[in-house]
Amino acid sequence: MIFDFSCLQISSLWERLVSAIGDAAGNALGRVVEAIRTLFEGDPETRRQVSFSVAIIALSAKMAKADGIVTEAEVRAFQQIFDFPDEEARNVARLYNLARQDVAGYEAYASKLSNLCSSGATENCPMLESVVDGLFHIAKADGLVHEKELLFLGRIAEIFRIDDEHFRRIMARHVHLDGRDPYLVLGVSPEDDFAAIRKQYRLLVSEHHPDRLIARGVPATLHAAANERMAALNAAYKAIEKERRAA
């Protein structure tokens, strides 16, 4: 889940938040920001956690809307990366449906998220990388990552201060326009010797291991995206290892 619901009177919290926002699409971001600021003014940590949660919901909905159509597969993909108690399904759905009415405002939500990196990194923040992985998970849920979705994701990465090379590596884990490129996934070159490739692989595994992410304060809901990323890293390394052994 995006944060520990057991720590909060979450039912009351989400009911208050959704009621404060209302159902009108007009100036939705302004309503959300003002509601969070007002409701949790004396509790900065809860305000940070709620801001992160709302931004994830909004970006997930707007990601699904980027190609013009929100499919059931994309909604299910969102539910896979955002874990919430059954009793909060109605409130989360109201926020999601409000955000998915159009793509407008996504940059503002992304900007809010970019300031919440738990590790304090200014570039290539691991937590924000997990967010991008989660959004890719939604984008590919209907079997095709649309050009407009790639543009959306590229802009999100830019706002998150994820550099171009890093974004290409993230994309390689999800999109295979010219077939899978295990070297790009690991950020290595076919010219590198296998010892260097193994060293890079082990470094990436260490950086992105779920236990390491927990220690960094990465919200638990993003662990599903982290597990998918680990699977991609492992598959890339095995592919290179098999290729080198056959050579």
Cα 52 off chain centre by: 11
- pLDDT, residue 125, reads 86
pTM of the model: 0.75
Residue whose C-alpha is closest to residue 78's, from 101, 52, 59, 94: 59
Backbone angles phi, psi at 177, to 5 degrees: -65, -40
Record the tokens describing residue 13, joined without a space: 């919290």
Helix (H, G, I), strand (E, B) or coil at 4: coil
User: With contact defined as beta carbons under 8 Å apart, do 232 and 173 qualify?
Assistant: yes
Alpha-carbon span 63 to 139, nearest angstrom: 7
- pLDDT, residue 247, reads 66
Per-residue pLDDT of 44-92, as tens digits, reads 666 666 667 777 788 888 888 888 888 888 888 888 777 666 776 777 7
Instruction: Provide DSSP, 21-34.
Output: H-S--TTHHHHHHH
User: With contact defined as beta carbons under 8 Å apart, do 236 and 185 qualify?
Assistant: yes
User: With contact defined as beta carbons under 8 Å apart, do 84 and 5 qualify?
Assistant: yes
- pLDDT, residue 171, reads 92
Which long-range CB contacts under 8 A does 34-42 form with residues at least 24 apart? 39/13
Per-residue pLDDT of 140-164, as tens digits, reads 888 888 889 999 999 999 999 999 9
Higher pLDDT, 174 or 227: 174
- pLDDT, residue 237, reads 94
Alpha-carbon span 92 to 15, nearest angstrom: 10
- pLDDT, residue 180, reads 80
Which pLDDT band, with edges at 50, 70 and 90, does 192 fall under? very high
Residue whose C-alpha is closest to residue 97's, from 22, 178, 195, 179: 22
